[in-house]
Amino acid sequence: MADTALVTPTLSDAPTPGGAGRDADAPTRRRRGRVGQERPNRLVTVLLALASLTVLVPIYVTVTMALKTSAQAVDGNAFSLPAPLDLTNFAAAWRLTDFPRAFAISTLVTAATVIGTVVLASMASYAISRNWDRKLFRYSFFYLLAAMFLPFPVVALSQIKLTGLVGLDNPGGVAVLHIMFQLSFSMLLFTAFLRSLPEELEESARLDGASTWQVFWRLVFPLLAPMSATVGIFAFLASWNDFAMPSLITADPSLQTLPVLQQIFQTQFSNDYNVAFASYLMAMAPAIVVYLVTQRWVMAGVTQGAIK
C-alpha cells in the first residue's frame, strides 16, 4: 500500500473568508476613491480671480479714499492705506448731500419697486403659466418678454412727456417705471419656477372649495418664496443704483434719489476726493449689505426655477 502523505494546510495557505471578494472589489474601491477628486480647472480659476479683482479693487479704493485726509487723497497714490483715519469725510458728505432725505426717498422708491414687482409679476406669471394653452395668455407672455429688448433710453423722451402730463414727474412715477421695466425679466423667472410646481396641489385645494384667488395667495404664493426673494433682490439692485430714470423723470431736484443727488452736489466737492468717495461709500453700502445677506437666495431661486 502506497503511503499517502498528509498535507497540513498552513495559515498562509488557508483561504481567507471574503478574500476573493475584497480582491475583486479593490479596483472598484480605487475607482470610487477618485470620484469627486477631479483636478480643478486652472484656467477657469484664473478667470474667476481676475473677474473678482474688477469688483474688489474699486471697492478697496473707495473705502481707502473715503478714510483719507484731503492731503492724502490728492497725493496720486489711490492704493495706499489711510494714515491717519479721517472720519470727518462722512460728516461732510452727510451734510452736503442732505443724506437723510435722499436716503429716505431712495428707500421708498426701492421698496415700492420691490413690492410692486414681486406682486404683479407673480400674479401675471401664475395666470400665464396655468393658461398656457390659450393663445391670449401665450402671446401676452411673448409680448411682455419682448420688452426686455427695449431699453429705457430708447423710450426716454416719450416717458418724460407722458409722466409730465399725468403728474408723475416725481419719485412715485420713477417707482412705477421701475416696476414696468422689471416685469419682463421677473415674469420669465416666475414662469419657469411655476412650471416646476405640481398642479395636483392646486387641484386638491379647489376640491376643498378654494377659489383661484385663495389658491394663489394661500398655496402658490408661499411656495414662490425662493423665487420672490430672487426677483426682489434683482429689483432692489436695479432700483437703488439707477441714475438715468430718476434724473430724467423727477422734475424737483430736492426729490432726487441718492445717485442723482451725488451728481448734483459733485461740484461742491471740488477737489475733495475723500468727501466724494465717502458719499459714494454711504450710497452703495446698503446695496452691498443687502446682496451679501441675500445672495444665497439668488442662486437657489434661479436653480430651482431651472429644474423641472
Residue 195 makes CB contacts below 8 A (sequence gap 6+) with 129, 308
pLDDT band for 165, please (50, 70, 90 cuts): very high
DSSP E strands in 100-206: the ranges are none
Q: Quick one: cell of 203? A: 387641484
> Is 0.85 surpassed by the pTM of this model?
no
Q: Quick one: cell of 282? A: 454711504
Residue with cell 479704493: 61
CA–CA gap between residue 65 and residue 77 (Å, rounded): 10
Rg (CA), the chain: 31
pLDDT tens for residues 42-58? 899 999 999 999 989 99
End-to-end CA distance of the chain: 82
CA–CA gap between residue 178 and residue 96 (Å, rounded): 27
CA–CA gap between residue 207 and residue 302 (Å, rounded): 31
The structural domains of the chain, with segments of one domain joined by +, span 99-268+286-306
φ/ψ bin of 4: left (φ > 0), alpha (ψ from -120 to 50), beta (otherwise): beta
CA–CA gap between residue 152 and residue 193 (Å, rounded): 27
CA atoms within 13 A on the CB side of 97: 32
pLDDT tens for residues 255-264? 999 989 888 7
pLDDT band for 308, please (50, 70, 90 cuts): very low
DSSP 265-298: THHHHTT-HHHHHHHHHHHHHHHHHHHHHHHHHH
**Per-position b or e across 232-270, b if 16+ CB within 10 A of its CB:** bbbbbbbbbebeebbbbbbeeeebbbbbbbbeebeeebe
User: Which residue would you say has higher pLDDT here, 243 or 306?
Assistant: 243
pLDDT band for 33, please (50, 70, 90 cuts): very low
CATH of domain 99-268+286-306: 1.10.3720.10
CA 308 from centroid of its chain's CA atoms: 21
